[in-house]
Structure 1
């Protein structure tokens, strides 16, 4: 009875407010809700998000044939668009091939909340490598079209396999987690709303004004350069620890990225204890570009580098002293190498050349978010 009376009194008070007072009240409530949103600890953690992403990718990789692999990869693609683009399921299902410019890292969303959504370039490259396989996703078809109930069941199965609480992994929670992530990166809340395709509520259009073109520019600058951490190192790999092995003063740490890349690092036992490392923990592995070695042609049989990957050259820049090589790794991420220029020993490299990149485990620096 008391609650009903209080609600009636509140309704009477709201009806008595002027338009200016209502706008002020909405502004205060918006700020309070936004502050609470950014302090919410009930979201899906980065470790849990990476675990789910890895599980879906590994499940697709373990498929026995195209008929089994196609729906699993489609589910991985839908998860990536929920995770990084924060699209609604209905928006994902409506996507057509021309709506995806994965070379530039943007998605054109149609419908009532039409907008341009930028993606981190590393994510865009991974999506492109999957969608460009004509055997799995023929041109001219809607690549994301599927049943919403299948997506919900798949997310529930993924969450259970990753040990998440029942119901935590959903399209809504992934979209919410992305909003929190962007807010904590320092993006203004009106810009986050533009990214999510949220419409201003009644009376809110005058509360916060933000130039749409400026917001889009800020989103592209922020998201397309998004890295696990801010560092001067050009090469940063984020992954879960899958193996720890101690030998005397040294500890070998093997981490696996969401795309399946395995990176080995050697650190001291003191660093191991200070970082409190354990299997399953999310870490960042960074390697400075001068520490990355490049081999052309067939890789040498003997090498002292524990981390060796085949890559395709994307860009070469050089001056009179150094040569910068940017190459794409098999799972879609990039690696940068910086070498002293020596015409007698350096073979000319061009975009499209296949190379082998390597770096020693001692060259890998581990850090936490």
Structure 2
């Protein structure tokens, strides 16, 4: 009877919740770490370390379990500091997925571990070659240790959780689809169904986020840190957006160290509208601004009751919209009307980087 009660307790949360939240994901990660560190025999340590790496790849890439177990570490991992990636190969087409810097570091350490590599008959090529059933059982055991329903610790639940997290961070659905290697956006959208309780929490978070946006930065780039140039006082940080645009920011050296800013880290860059400059025409202007992009005017908001200022919204090639506040006289003089080509620019000191 007690076993039946436990089964009901495990099943009910899964019905109400269809993916791991950040607290549960952190608890599962801690359970894996503790399990690996608790190993005493070399054989146990090697096996647990391999399972830990499989967990990290599933958590950070949204790949299918079979895809991760089929990886050849020598061929499919590129762990260079500029842009670490993993390449998944399938009959439906290969895809390249960026790796967070911490995951790339764990993989590098494993590949440099002589005991781990020496235990593999096939060397690095066999690092992830493990039985699917064994992997799933160990995932379920870690879920029990973390107090999480076992169904939420399955490889497919990790895949679903990453998809939901990216969508909630405003990553476009087609981008998430390509990341997961799915054939259509409809399949990806199916990952983002929510229980009533989850939907309520998401709406509350969205409203709070929108309220914060109204009082802070207007313009938004989401992407990955691709370069950090350290100086004695300040550092230059480059973010590459999902649309391929480079955004340069200047932050203090203390902030770089305190926030762990390094290549591979996901971040967003925000720029307040008064800091954005608009230049008319399709020819790139001569400017000292570190960030300059060609665009097209999509909207000019000029209120007759406000004869001093106007808001100009320009769209970049990837659909990103940047708003600028200019004088009404400048808008008239530059001929800023809907459809007009422009260059949008802003300085590196005007960029606000956000993490997490």
* Alignment TM-score, normalising by the size of structure 1: 0.48
Structure showing the higher helix proportion among its residues: 2
